[in-house]
Copies of this chain bind each other. A is one copy, B any other.
C-alpha cells in the first residue's frame, strides 16, 4: 500500500513512476500546503537530469501542435516527456477547439507523457516560481525531456524561459509580424527558431528575415537573462565556445509532423553543445539565482507583513491612495516603523 499522506510515501511513489502521486505532489505545491516545502526539499536533490526545453511564440504560430509533434518524436525515441502549458490559448491548458483536443489525445493515453497546465493568472512572479517548482518535480520524477510552452515574449515569459536550457522560438509565415517579433527581443532568447506552417506562402520570406537578423547581431541571451532580473551571479569569463552557437532555423509543418524530427535533432545538438561548452553549468547558476531571488522577494515581503499591524497597513495604503503620502515614503514608513522592527 502506498501512503499518499506523507512526504516519504509520496516521494517513494513518485520515484516509482506513480502518476497519481505525481499529480498529488504538484497539487500540494500549487496550493502551497504544509507538505509543499518538505516535498520540494526532498525532491530537489533528485532533480537536475532532465533537459528542459522552452517553446514560445505568438498565438497563431501553431506552437501547441508543434509541442505535440515534438513530444511524439521523443516518445518514438524512447524518451519520456513532461509538458507544462502556460499559454492560455494552448489546447493543453484547456483552451482548445475540438480539433485540437482530438490531436492531443494520442499523447494523453501514453504513460510516458505527463501534461500539466498552469494558470496564467494569480500572483505575478508566483507563476514563474510555481513553474520552476513543477519543472523540478517532473525532473525528479525522471522525465527525460520537459517542455514548457509559453505565449509571446512578455517579461513573465522571458523569466519562465530562463528556466529552460534550450529555448525554441516558433514563428509562422503570414502573421505579418516577423520584423516586430524579432525586434521584441526574441533573438536574444532563441537557441533555435522553428518556422512552422512551412507549407504556407511566405515561408521563405520569414526564414530570410530571421537569417538577416541573425547575421546582424550575436545572441546575448545570457547577458540579457542576467540583467536586472536576478541576484548578481559571478559570470565565468566567456569562453570562445560560448558564442559559437548560431541558432538554426528549422522549417516545420506541425499538423503533419514534418520537420519535428529535425527540430528534436537541433534540440539534442544544443543540449550537447551546452554540456561541452560549460554552458549548462552557467545556466544552472543563473537559474538558481533567479529562483533564489523570486523566493527571497516573497519571503521578505511576507515576513514584513506578518509583523505589521493590519491597522497601520490600512492607514498607510489609505494615505497613499489619497495622495497624502507617496509610495516610496510609505515603504520607508512600513519598513522602519517601531511596530515593524
Contact = CB atoms under 8 A, between A and B. Distances in A.
Nearest to A126: B228
Interface string A161-180: 00000000000000111011
A300 B295 contact: no
B314 A184 contact: no
A310 interface: yes
Contacts of A35: none
A44 B326 contact: yes
A320 to B, nearest CB: 4
In this complex, which of A175, A233, A281, A317 has the most chain B Cβ atoms within 10 angstroms of its Cβ?
A: A317
Contacts of A122: 155, 227-229
Given A229-B124, A334-B296, A154 B157 contact: yes
Contacts of A318: 285, 288
Interface in A130-166: 151-159
A180 B89 contact: yes
Given A153-B88, A285-B318, A304-B300, A120 B184 contact: yes
Interface residues of A, number: 88
A41 B333 CA distance: 14
A97 B183 CA distance: 12
- Copy count, this protein chain: 2
A96 to B, nearest CB: 8
Interface string A281-306: 10011011101110111111101110
Given A122-B229, A124-B125, A321 B284 contact: yes
Nearest to A233: B317
A14 interface: no
A65 to B, nearest CB: 13
Contacts of A47: 323
A278 interface: no
A121 B232 contact: no
B156 A313 contact: no
Nearest to A334: B296
12 contacts: A40-B326, A88-B153, A95-B184, A122-B228, A124-B155, A124-B229, A156-B156, A231-B317, A232-B310, A232-B313, A292-B316, A299-B335
Given A88-B183, A288-B321, A295-B328, 5 more contacts: A121-B158, A122-B155, A125-B125, A285-B318, A295-B327
